A = this chain, B = another copy of it.
Amino acid sequence: MNNDNTVSIMPGRSRAPADAASLPAPGAIAHCRTVCATCELRELCLPCCGLTRAEMEIAERMVFTRLRVRRGDRLYRAGSRFTSLYAVRNGSFKSMATLDNGREQVTGFSMTGEVLGLDGIGPGQHACDAAALEDSDVCVIPFGGLQEVAHEIPALQQHFRKMMSREIVRQHGMMLQLGSMTAEERVAMFLLDLSRRFAARGYSASEFNLRMKREEIASYLGLKLETISRTFSRFQEQGLIVVQQKLIRIRNSLGLLQVMGREAD
């Protein structure tokens, strides 16, 4: 009854395996830096944040596995045990929760360079499903190992905490806002949030492809798909954006910001 989409494990690893070098060779570090360059985890990636030689040796314990997830497959499901974090190396995901009453809701989108699975840290199990919006690659970060390493490197611990709480605050704040926003405000916020996140990862802030369907945006924003479509059209008439199917061009980001902020009573 459930189309059990299992993900396939890629043989490759992002770093040299343990048997190759017991000491960190300069080359290995360079390699890791390259790999992590476009990754939000670079703050966490040990060789990349000014650690001592001794700390780097500790960091050697961490080995990342690559995982390929096909469009529609799930990286994890709600209720499953939390074991790892996932860095999206390529592709994008949606997180979705099934509410008590059986309704499903999209709770977030994760794009290339972002980290997935933080929701499971506290409770020890995932609160939602994570499904790939397109064929994607992720870097599996076993949480046990991460914690072990972080325990011995306080600076890392702190980085980690900060990243986690920042994410929670962002999500929390967003959901809060939604309650009191009109459809136009929500859509404007959504577009600006995406724009900002693309820019932060080195992509264009003014032109990007939506990886998700109108219906998924609607679910995320607490609206109906027709409303998303109409709002996009209205924004286009107003010269704020240009919409071509999934391609969005932001023409007047200040205007979008004003849409978000107006009628603040």
Contacts and interface: CB of A to CB of B under 8 A. Distances in A.
Interface of A: 97, 99-103, 105, 107, 122-124, 127, 161, 164-166, 168-169, 171-173, 175-180, 222, 260-261, 264-265
18 contacts: A97-B173, A99-B173, A99-B180, A100-B177, A100-B260, A103-B180, A103-B264, A105-B176, A107-B176, A122-B168, A122-B169, A127-B172, A172-B172, A175-B175, A175-B176, A178-B179, A179-B222, A180-B222
A264 B98 CA distance: 12
Contacts of A165: 122-124
A101 B178 contact: no
Nearest to A220: B179
Q: For the complex formed by this chain, how many copies does it contain in all?
A: 2
Nearest to A123: B165
B102 A264 contact: yes
A116 B102 CA distance: 31
A161 B101 contact: no
Contacts of A161: 122
A29 to B, nearest CB: 31
Contact of A122 (B99, B164, B260): B164
Contacts of A177: 99-100
A175 B179 contact: yes
